[in-house]
Structure 1
């Protein structure tokens, strides 16, 4: 199977400038203003354009610093209404141009052209995608309910300043700075008092010793079905995964981390800690490489090897520990090709820890939505492919002393398979494990976090915990002699 090229890795990082909500807002507003005033700029009218941009910077900074998750985004219309009440009417032609450009980008360029070229969706995908954009609640540019009030206010303020400068005036300075102060105060109050649904984090580091060498697993295999929403998984016909759950231990309340973006989740899952420590705070990575030890570093300390098979984004966190797969392939071939490559890696490299990312379910969620039959079909396809792979591992003698973990990195909400802000369907993920030291038929009700994956893997393979690991070992799943004893 084709690996992700250097061009694809670079292109993926560039795409995140437009995909992630934080960088998208300023890029889109600057681009919209430039296009709308292009004739004047060609004629040299740069001074009012740049000076008015300078006065608008406080609002740009505010909207870059603060996300407005879920119901908080409803409050974004308050500053827009305030502007309409206290300042002159906005340029409606500019607003119309901005709205049109936004929906052209999200519905046609992204939802139709981009997804057709990348994964082979139909040229008529826009007929569904526009509804997904309007319902989307995640932290990306496709969240219309968050992006619309942000860019409409920025366009109004910037263009209003520019228009007045052309006549030798500015917006009333006192009123403007009071307005900016009020917007800052609103944002602070909302996030300080109302933004209270982040998962609780573990305060202390993981404690205890690694497992005795004679009780360690030979291997741990982790299969991550990217973006698999928990209740949709239960609705799907997945006989093989169901049988694995009955043979092992299922965690019924396994939480992902915030923000629930793929790079963030994988970084937390395999370092055992949170974005504030490992440094990956969205899919938009400004500096490559996690800031702390990963499970791969821990394994190297005891002469063992780990390998991850995933898309180009994961290289941003884990570098050479990732074998990449290209994300530019037909949606019906993606997971099949990944499983084929997973067999080759196990044959040729035989890692002690092998992590496989299946991407088909996530791709369909993003391009077609999670509440449609196509999404269920991808989960069922994953069931067949995982059965094929595990049975192949058994035939190759790779499962005799191996623990298998199956999970999702995050769920998905309605809209464009939205994930990031922990809307309904994102927060709790499927998670179960089966192996020689794992209890059979156990159902764990207690709430746990995906940050427990790294220390549990380290424990099973007799390696030290990663340097900043905070999650406790998943002892509830382990038989007595395999448990971690502190």
Structure 2
């Protein structure tokens, strides 16, 4: 299986400019303005009017970059647009219709059909379902029509107002300044008082049990089924995964981190801390690399090796500790190819810790939605592949003394993107541990966080905790006689 090329890594970062809602809003707005204005290119004063209009909307672009109005807060975005209509009553219907048309062309046809067909092999008819996902999507990505539409309708209207010299007097400019101030205060009040569903931060560094100087396990294997929604997993026919969790220890309320983006989640899982500390705040990574130690750094301190096998995005956090797989392949063979690559890595490198990211479930949720049979089918295929890999490891003598962990990095809501701000189906993820050192048939009901994974791995392998790890070691899952050895 091919590694992600240098071009693919750069392309993945560029695509996130159009995927993540915050950078998309200014890019799309200014792009629409340029397309709409092209026919007037030869007019006298064209560039001056264009620049004046764009400068006039910069303050609002900044406000929308700071405040992204997640989940139900997006409903309040229409109020500033209504206020604009009441104050200025100036609408360029042609411009707004151009913006709406370009938006749905980009999301439904370019992204939902062409992009997914070329990248993962979805049908040329994917647009027949994708438009529903655009309208239902609740996450702050570019594919959230209910958030993006009121944003760019207001931005385009204000640009046209300024570019057409409707703000020529001091009085009109003062109205605009007070209008922006009102939106800023309005946004601050909403986010301060209504944005209250983030998981609680663990305030201290890992302290529930002392670090071990001797290893419990020779190997820890972590299978991350990206984007596996917990209740949909419960509905799927997954006999092997069910046997692992029933004969191991399951954490029934394992909570992901905020925002629940793949790169953020992996960064938190394997550093043991949160975005404010490790520095990765979205899939759009502005500065490469983690600001804190990862579990891979901890293992190096005791002469052990860890390996993360995942898609190109994860290189932005983990650098050389991540072995990439190309994400440009048919989704029906993606996880199969990843498993074959995992076998090769285990044969050639024999890491003490191996983390494998299976991506087909997540990609199906993004391209086809999580509430359809295709999504269940990918979970069931992952079950078969994990079983195959487990049996291969056993045959190769790699499971003499091990812990096998299966989890998701986040769940998924319905719609494009489908995860980030912890809508229904995103917050709690499947998580269970299995192996000779793990309690059998145990279910832990209390709330736990994925940030516990880094310290738990370090504890099992006899390595120090990463320097900023906050998650408690998941000692409930480890047999007491093993802990006391």
Taking a change above 3 Å as real, the CA distance of residues 171 and 312 of structure 1, as seen in their structure-2 partners, is farther
Q: Given the alignment of the two structures, is residue 266 of structure 1 paired with residue 266 of structure 2, yes or no? A: yes
Taking the aligned partners of 1:299 and 1:441, their CA distance within structure 2 comes to 30
TM-superposed CA distance for 1:170, in Å, is 7.6
Query: What is aligned with 1:383?
Result: 383
For residues 24 and 307 of structure 2, the distance between their equivalents in structure 1, rounded to whole angstroms, comes to: 33
Q: 1:57 to 1:236 in 2, by over 3 A?
A: same
Distance 2:309 2:427 in 1: 24
Per-residue CA distance 1:90-144 (angstroms, 9 max, x = gap): 2111000000000000000000000000000000000000000000011210011
Does the 8 Å CA contact 1:160/1:171 hold for their aligned counterparts? Answer: no
Distance in 2, Cα, partners of 1:344 & 1:262: 24
The residue aligned with 1:18 is 18
Is this contact kept in 1: 2:264–2:275, CA < 8 A? Answer: yes
- Counterpart residue number, 1:420: 420
- SS of the equivalent of 2:309 reads strand
Is the 2:121–2:329 Cα contact (8 Å) retained in structure 1? yes
The separation in 1 between residues aligned to 2:259 and 2:311, in whole angstroms, is 19
What aligned pairs does 1:442-457 form with structure 2 within 5 A after superposition? 442-457=442-457
Q: How far apart are 1:318 and its partner, in Å?
A: 0.0
Deviations 1:16-59 (A, max 9, x none): 00000000000000000011011334546111211221121110
Report the CA distance between 1:381 and its aligned residue. Answer: 0.1
- Structure 1 contact 164–171 (Cα < 8 Å) conserved: no
2:76 is paired with a residue whose SS is helix
Shift of 1:209: 2.6
Show the 5 A alignment for 1:138-287. Answer: 138-164=139-165, 172-207=172-207, 208-213=209-214, 215-287=215-287
* CA pair 153-170 structure 1, distance change in 2 beyond 3 A: farther
Contact 2:249 2:438 in 1 (8 A): yes
Secondary structure of 2:124 counterpart: coil
Taking the aligned partners of 1:159 and 1:171, their CA distance within structure 2 comes to 18
Q: CA shift at 1:212, angstroms?
A: 4.2
> Cα deviation per residue 1:129-175 (whole Å; 9 max; x = unaligned)?
0000000011210011111111111111111111126x955881221
Q: How is 1:357-372 mapped onto 2 (pairs within 5 angstroms)?
A: 357-372=357-372
State the Cα distance separating 1:283 from its structure 2 match. Answer: 0.4
Q: How does 1:338-353 map to 2 (within 5 A)?
A: 338-353=338-353
TM-score (norm. length: structure 2): 0.98
Q: Is the 8 A contact 1:473 1:484 kept in 2?
A: no
**Per-residue CA distance 1:298-349 (angstroms, 9 max, x = gap):** 0000000001000000000000001100000001000000000000000000
Other-structure match for 2:64:
63
Number of aligned pairs? 483
- CA distance in 1 between counterparts of 2:67 and 2:134 reads 21
Separation in 2, partners of 1:137, 1:170: 40
Gap change, CA 1:85 and 1:458, over 3 Å in 2: same
Distance (Å, rounded) in 2 between the aligned partners of 1:472 and 1:328: 37
Residue ranges of structure 1 left out of the alignment (5+ in a row): none
CA contact (8 A) 1:161 1:170 kept: no
Q: Is the 8 A contact 2:253 2:448 kept in 1?
A: yes
CA contact (8 A) 1:459 1:484 kept: no
Q: Distance in 2 between matches of 1:362 and 1:12?
A: 16
- 1:278-302 per-residue CA deviation (whole Å, 9 max, x = no partner) reads 1110000111101110000000000
Question: 1:331 aligned to 2:331?
Answer: yes
Task: Check the 8 A contact 1:309/1:324 in 2, yes or no.
Answer: yes
Cα distance in 1 for partners of 2:170, 2:324 equals: 53
- Provide the residue aligned with 1:477 in structure 2: 477
Which residue in 1 is equivalent to 2:74?
A: 73
Residue 367 (structure 1) shift = 0.3
Map 1:38-49 onto structure 2 (within 5 A).
38-43=38-43, 45-49=46-50
Q: How does 1:402-417 map to 2 (within 5 A)?
A: 402-416=402-416
Deviation string, structure 1 residues 210-257 (Cα, Å, up to 9, x no partner): 2241x5210100000000000000000000000000111000000000
Does the 8 A contact of 2:216 with 2:437 survive in 1? Answer: no
In structure 2, the CA distance between the partners of 1:133 and 1:484, relative to structure 1 (3 Å rule), is farther
State how far apart, in whole Å, the 2-side matches of 1:162 and 1:412 are: 42
Task: Tell me if structure 2 keeps the 8 A contact 1:370–1:417.
Answer: no
Cα 1:236/1:170, change in 2 over 3 Å: farther
Distance 1:72 1:450 in 2: 26
Secondary structure of residue in 2 paired with 1:164:
coil
Partner of 2:322: 322
Q: Do the aligned partners of 2:254 and 2:429 also contact (CA within 8 Å) in 1?
A: yes
- Distance in 1 (CA, whole Å) between partners of 2:135 and 2:171 is 33
Query: What's the Cα RMSD here?
Result: 1.4
Structure-2 residue corresponding to 1:129: 130
Q: Distance in 1 between matches of 2:174 and 2:31?
A: 29
Which residue does 1:52 correspond to in 2?
Answer: 53
